[in-house]
Amino acid sequence: GALVYQYPRRTICKSGTSMRMECQAVGFQATSVAWYRQSPQKTFELIALSTVNSAIKYEQNFTQEKFPISHPNLSFSSMTVLNAYLEDRGLYLCGARETPNTEVFFGKGTRLTVV
């Protein structure tokens, strides 16, 4: 079956430091991968979307300078949170799809705590 793995599941970093999280799609051919942040209030914010043959598109309030993303292919994606501060806390979710209008397969997320 289709699965999305994310690691680490949780991480703690000191304020001003950076941390990297990874996402891997298994069991299907992903043609788009998106990173989201879920706040403590449970709302989802789209950080960036990568689609096959297109550049990574960042949403308003999120920049490549703060959240650089790299992926050799759409089955594997990594994102770094640079200079993390308290407002960056949350659950970072990776979602991948096979085709537009189909379901998004989510990983279990990486929970970032900043101290």
The residue within the footprint of other proteins, chosen from 95, 96, 112, 114 (CB under 8 A), is 95
Helix, strand, or coil (residue 97): strand
# residues near other proteins by CB under 8 A = 22
Q: Does 44 help bind other proteins (rule: CB under 8 A)?
A: yes
Q: Which is nearer to other proteins, 26 or 104 (CB)?
A: 104
Distance CA 32, CA 67 (A): 18
Is 32 one of the binding residues for other proteins (CB under 8 A)? yes
CB of 61 to other proteins, least distance (A): 16
Per CB under 8 A, 29 contacts other proteins: no
Cβ neighbours of residue 13 closer than 8 Å, sequence gap 6 or more: 19, 84, 112, 113, 114, 115
Touching other proteins, residues 57-86 (CB under 8 A)? none
Under 8 Å between Cβ of 38 and 61:
no
102 lies in the binding site for other proteins (CB under 8 A) = yes
Give 40's strand partners. none
